[in-house]
């Protein structure tokens, strides 16, 4: 079974509008972290936002916010006021467990390609 | 002041050759990784090292051998390259047990 599922392979968004990127995850570990990364066409992986499983508040970083619904195991990324530079692949990722045994590895979803239209 | 740097950025080589990709981080992190991104953009972990000790090896063929001379460096050596090894290889690092991963800029390996 997929641990991280991103159901939207691609989407268009109008400049200045908000966009929500879906991410659902599957884990039986009570301790986990959820991450979103952006990969522009230049190829680098840019960290956007993090949500810990025990965090009470939804994470926010500037125009990025994470809609964390623990019971539904979803961690959707919301980008407000889209800009042309937001056009990129977006990856949701999960780290399960804590401590050295967990290895701290990230499991990635398949990604969502976002194209912002002027 | 690059946090995680990997070289080379591009690598084109023939089948059967042996090649290495080097990675260095200046963040003082204990944990380093190699990830592979295939042609469909899917990212999967290959190896994870914690303070020079291998802790994750995700069913990667023996032709791939990581080496960590110290905790700031994690190199990837690939023997007998195959066409299917063509991909983008990312090095990353993170603090020991938690915290986000910082990625290098990737090495695009093309095997012809």
CB of A27 less than 8 A from some CB of B: no
Q: How confident is the model at residue B64 (pLDDT cuts 50, 70, 90)?
A: very high
Residue-level pLDDT at B98 = 65
Q: Which residues of A touch B92 (CB under 8 A)?
A: 45
Residue-level pLDDT at A42 = 94
Spacing of C-alpha A59 from chain mean position = 11
Residue-level pLDDT at A101 = 53
Burial class (CB in 10 A: 0-12, 13-18, 19+), B4: buried
Residue-level pLDDT at A105 = 83
Indicate the residue of A91, A98, A100 with minimum beta-carbon distance to B43. A91
Cis before A92? omega within 30: no
- Residues above pLDDT 90, as percent of chain B: 76
Q: Rounded to an integer, what distance in angstroms lies between the CA atom of residue A76 and that of residue A96?
A: 18
Q: Rounded to an integer, what distance in angstroms lies between the CA atom of residue B77 and that of residue B93?
A: 18
Residue-level pLDDT at B2 = 72
Q: Which residues of A touch B31 (CB under 8 A)?
A: 104
The yes-or-no verdict on residue B45 having pLDDT over 80 is: yes
Q: Rounded to an integer, what distance in angstroms lies between the CA atom of residue B79 and that of residue A108?
A: 27
Q: One digit per residue, pLDDT tens: chain A, 118 residues?
A: 679 999 999 999 999 999 999 999 999 989 899 999 999 999 999 999 999 999 999 999 999 999 999 999 999 999 999 999 999 999 999 998 765 555 578 899 999 999 999 9
The yes-or-no verdict on residue B96 having pLDDT over 80 is: no
């Amino acid at each position: 079974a997929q641990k991280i599922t991103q159901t939207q392979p691609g989407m268009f968004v109008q400049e200045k509008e908000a966009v929500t990127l879906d991410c659902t995850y599957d884990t039986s570990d009570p301790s986990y972290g959820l991450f979103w990364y952006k990969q522009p066409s230049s190829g680098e992986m840019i960290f956007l936002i993090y949500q810990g499983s025990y965090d009470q508040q939804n994470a926010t970083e500037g125009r990025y916010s994470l809609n964390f619904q623990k019971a539904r195991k979803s961690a959707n990324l919301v980008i407000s006021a889209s800009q042309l530079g937001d056009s990129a692949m977006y990856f949701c990722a999960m780290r399960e467990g804590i401590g050295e045994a967990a290895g701290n590895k990230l499991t990635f979803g398949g990604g969502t390609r976002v194209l912002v239209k002027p | 002041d690059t946090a995680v740097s990997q070289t080379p950025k591009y690598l084109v080589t023939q089948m059967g050759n042996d090649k290495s990709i080097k990675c260095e981080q200046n963040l003082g992190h204990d944990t380093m990784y190699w990830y592979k991104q295939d042609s469909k953009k899917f990212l999967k972990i290959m190896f994870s090292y914690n303070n020079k000790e291998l802790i994750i090896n995700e069913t990667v063929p023996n032709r791939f051998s990581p080496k960590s001379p110290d905790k700031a460096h994690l190199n990837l050596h690939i023997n007998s390259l195959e066409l299917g090894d063509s991909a983008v290889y990312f090095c990353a690092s993170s603090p020991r047990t938690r915290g986000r991963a910082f990625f290098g800029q990737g090495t695009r390996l093309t095997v012809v």
